[in-house]
Amino acid sequence: MANIRPLHFIGMQPAKHILTATSLTAEEFKKTLELALDIKANPVKYSNAMNQKTLLMLFQKPSLRTRVSFETGMTKMGGHAIMYSVADSPLGVKETIADTAHVLERMVDIVMARLNKRADMREFAANSKIPIINALDDFAHPCQMLADFQTILEHRGKLEGTVLSYFGDVANNVTYDLMRSCALLGLECHVCGPAEAGFAIEQEVIDECNALNAKTGGKLLITHNVAEACKGTNVVYTDTFLSYHIPKEELPRRREVFKPFQVNEGLMAQCEKDCIFMHCLPATRGDEVSAGVMDGPQSVIFDEAENRMWAQMALLINLVYGFK
């Protein structure tokens, strides 16, 4: 009896976890984008792709787009999604994170987790025999990257030649994964934000991207000069000044620090004529982006938001059945 293994694990390959954008190879990243485009164009073809499959969604941080996109995506593919808030029953308190992971791997097929800390995400994945998808922590946001680059592919027709420039709060999960994604795909990434202490990119991320760029031919520019960052740019990206974990009383100071990096009509005019504007949302008009840009003709933010669903559907299929 001691040697009996659960049927759930018989013949299973080691689970592939998606903790950052570079948890995927460049080939896997591109295959996921290709599949996402096909699912979007032919949703009926995939209507039973997740039949009898269950996704558990763990939320320590709230998110409209993450819950709706994953839950709707599973429903469209004939699967089932369960939403569970670990804000109500804290992760790692009543039982260890490892014990939670081992329980869940006996019941569901895949877990999506949106957690506060990268250490918790890594511990969860290290103890799970089923795939863990990072739906955001303090270090990465890989699902957003797949949606972003699907959107770029749709609007530009190709990824090659993309020069993506991020402006504003550079010390955050979205910026880090944009840097990683560009490096992985051999693209050029400009990151432009304040020089003040406490707003710098983590050196670990810079080192990872430099190492990747040396292999792929990608380029990384980190600057505090808006005009320098705008040169050659065909994708402009920004994010909120006040992420969930930042106290609201810090907003006045952050507005002051980030104001020179607001994406507005003047900034966009310094970029390429075919430049598009992207934002992972939610956004605050008048803070990180002007209303004119946010609601203007160069903005693709709602295509980008919709693509969270299609890109994640493709990722779920690839993680359950393998990248083909």
Question: Active-site residue among 144, 150, 262, 298?
Answer: 144
Strands 235-238 and 80-85: unpaired
- Give the Cα separation of 322 and 184 in Å (integer): 20
Residue 230 annotated as catalytic: no
Burial 208-243 (b: 16+ CB within 10 A, else e): bbeebbeeeebebbbebebeebbeebbbbbbbbbbb
How far from chain centre, in Å, is Cα 77? 21
Residue 148 annotated as catalytic: no
Question: Active-site residue among 150, 177, 308, 312?
Answer: 308
Question: Active-site residue among 114, 122, 254, 279?
Answer: 114
- Give the Cα separation of 29 and 185 in Å (integer): 9
Question: Active-site residue among 150, 239, 262, 271?
Answer: 239
Residue 114 annotated as catalytic: yes
Question: Active-site residue among 65, 275, 280, 298?
Answer: 280
Question: Active-site residue among 122, 141, 180, 190?
Answer: 141
Residue 275 annotated as catalytic: no
Residue 180 annotated as catalytic: no
Residue 141 annotated as catalytic: yes
Q: What is the 3-state secondary structure of the chain?
A: CCCCCCHHHCCCCCCCCECCHHHCCHHHHHHHHHHHHHHHHCHHHHCCCCCCCEEEEEECCCCHHHHHHHHHHHHHCCCEEEEEECCCCCCCCCCCHHHHHHHHCCCCCEEEEECCCHHHHHHHHHCCCCCEEECCCCCCCHHHHHHHHHHHHHHHCCCCCCEEEEECCCCCHHHHHHHHHHHHHCCEEEEECCCCCCCCCCHHHHHHHHHHHHHHCCEEEEECCHHHHHCCCCEEEECCCCCCCCCHHHHHHHHHHHHHHCECHHHHHCCCCCCEEEECCCCCECCCECHHHHCCCCECHHHHHHHHHHHHHHHHHHHHHCCC
For residue 30 the two structure tokens come to 């591109």
Q: Catalogue the active-site residues.
A: 114, 141, 144, 239, 280, 308
